[in-house]
Structure 1
Amino acid sequence: MPPAKKRARAYDPTRTRAAVLAQLGNVREAVHGLGPEQLALPTRLGAWTVRELIAHIGMAGTAVHRALDRPAPPRQDVTVVQWPFATAASAAAIDEFTRGLAADRPDLGGYLADVEASLRTLLAEHPGGRLLETNAGALPLDDYLVTRAVELVVHTDDLNAAVPGLDVPYDRQALAAATRLLADALAVKAPGGSTEVRVPPFAVVQCVEGPRHTRGTPPNVVETDPLTFVRLATGRVSFPDAVAQAKVSASGERADIGGLLPLMS
């Protein structure tokens, strides 16, 4: 008898909305006092400076505005777990848009404040089931907001890496949503039950073809913390380096998942 199809993970829409607004607010507060020298610092995102990175963080919110401005598609044709695999195709267009936005918005703190305020208004006006045309396909607004949490967490981490001592906090629910979506994407990319990937306290998934584990301690286990997993999933750190730095523990002959990463870039 074939195994039962795994039910898609559900996200609490109220918590997701609050998490997106909270993380955007965390960034807004942190960047308010940055000076010209800090805004000109390099980042780990190619030629982008901190200025371009902050402008792009604002785009995580304005993407919702732009999607709501377009007609609703007739039907949903993708699930949220497919979104991470669609991001690379838009990289060139995103880079060009980000550079133009950063040049046109000298007051980045004010820009983020405007984005946060308008996003709060839009979310109060539109139901979670409203379909949006996204770069991955047609998704409900509430599902698309989960992807906004991923964007905000990933780029908050980029910002913290670029500006010494900035230490923008991570909203717990935003970090949880990002971890869970990327963990589920890993399980979609490498379906199977031979390897258990643990990211406490937010996610556990089974993946990789091979003998399915049914009871006791799994023979193949990968375990790491949420931020390290996000960095692995987005190519900010390699799997061998994370293991060498003791950020990841991996045991078993099928525990080397480095070839499956990154999931998005």
Structure 2
Amino acid sequence: MDTVRAAFRNECQRLEEVLRGLDEPDLDRPTPCPPWAVRDLLAHVRAGAGRLVDMLAAPAPQRAEVDAAEYFGTAKFTPEVDRARIDVARREARELPAVREVADGFARAWRSADAAVTAQPPGRLVRTRHGDAMTLTEFLRTRVVEVGVHGLDLADALHRQPWLTPTAAEVIAGLLTGDLESVPDALGWDRLTLVRKATGRAALTDREQALVDQAGVRWLTFGG
């Protein structure tokens, strides 16, 4: 939990710093997650980062049924689910139209979630909006993925270098691959490259695909 919580804090703090340096026109830039503009993607990230507040206010389930890898299952990326996700983010983006409001809203969301996590006993269980029963640690791992990977999308949209923090990169890379030791050394990837390749944010070359296939690497299913 300490490692995952540090990754969540570090990545959210870094994104908050980026948001406080944006200009109003930045919010309308297109992103690699169409049809979202930056403001829509940020609404999605804000909701995801703050989701634990309500989850931790609800009764805990009796036992964990999935881990972080199983949470990112194909059922969560059906066309119907994606359409709902897109519509909700666009609607929520209209509620905070200005840059300062966007930055303040994200800050409130992630800091409230962090405070809620800190107040929990070891081994706390939660139930997600999809109905999954998980340990708090495993769900927080999925939040690191959401903030970190969509941070790559935002960096692309804003024409900036990726700001993925080392702690978040470690957590995400380990989760997406299932086993970092399974990634061939011959690929020569650092963790940022691994995350981009494993989530489809960067294409595999023919050589890379051959090495991945030869090693039997199985990426985690991960949608937008």
Fold similarity call, TM over 0.5 = yes
Structure 2 residue 216 is the aligned partner of structure 1 residue 263? no
Give distance in 2, aligned partners of 1:228 and 1:110. 30
Aligned mate of 1:29, from 12, 17, 22: 17
Give distance in 1, aligned partners of 2:124 and 2:13. 24
Aligned mate of 1:91, from 79, 82, 98: 82
In structure 2, what is the equivalent of residue 138 of structure 1?
133
TM-score for the superposition, normalised by structure 1:
0.72
Stretches (4+) displaced over 3 A = 220-223, 248-253
Instruction: Map 1:97-136 to 2 at 5 A.
Output: 97-106=88-97, 107-134=101-128, 135=130
Aligned mate of 1:49, from 33, 37, 49: 37
In structure 2, what is the equivalent of residue 227 of structure 1?
192
Instruction: Map 1:147-158 to 2 at 5 A.
Output: 147-158=142-153
Structure 2 residues not aligned, in runs of 5+: none
Structure 2 residue 182 is the aligned partner of structure 1 residue 205? yes
Instruction: Map 1:189-200 to 2 at 5 A.
Output: none
Give distance in 2, aligned partners of 1:30 and 1:182. 25
Identity of aligned residues (%): 27
Give distance in 2, aligned partners of 1:24 and 1:252. 31
Give distance in 1, aligned partners of 2:219 and 2:92. 30
Q: Residues 128 and 142 of structure 1 are in contact (CA less than 8 Å); yes or no, is this contact kept in structure 2?
A: no
Q: Label 1:157 to 1:72 Cα distance change in 2 as closer, same or farther (>3 A).
A: same
Give distance in 1, aligned partners of 2:220 and 2:124. 31
Q: Residues 23 and 170 of structure 1 are in contact (CA less than 8 Å); yes or no, is this contact kept in structure 2?
A: yes
Kindly provide the amino acid, as one letter, of the partner of residue 121 in structure 1. Answer: A
Give distance in 2, aligned partners of 1:40 and 1:53. 10
Residue deviations 1:154-174, cap 9 Å, x none? 011001100023x45222111
Kindly provide the amino acid, as one letter, of the partner of residue 163 in structure 1. Answer: L
Q: Alignment RMSD, CA only?
A: 2.7
User: What is the CA-CA distance between 1:252 and the residue it aligns to?
Assistant: 8.7
Question: Considering only CA atoms, is the larger Rg found in Structure 1 or Structure 2?
Answer: 1
TM-score for the superposition, normalised by structure 2:
0.84
User: What is the CA-CA distance between 1:118 and the residue it aligns to?
Assistant: 1.1
Q: Label 1:168 to 1:54 Cα distance change in 2 as closer, same or farther (>3 A).
A: farther
51-60 vs 129-138, greater mean Cα deviation: 129-138
Residue deviations 1:82-107, cap 9 Å, x none? 12225414423322221121111221
In structure 1, what is the equivalent of residue 202 of structure 2?
237
Q: Secondary structure at the match of 1:132?
A: strand
- Greater strand fraction, Structure 1 or Structure 2: 1
Kindly provide the amino acid, as one letter, of the partner of residue 123 in structure 2. Answer: G
Aligned residues between the structures: 216
Q: Label 1:26 to 1:77 Cα distance change in 2 as closer, same or farther (>3 A).
A: same
- Which protein, 1 or 2, shows the higher relative CO under an 8 Å CA cutoff with sep ≥ 6? 2
- Greater helix fraction, Structure 1 or Structure 2: 2
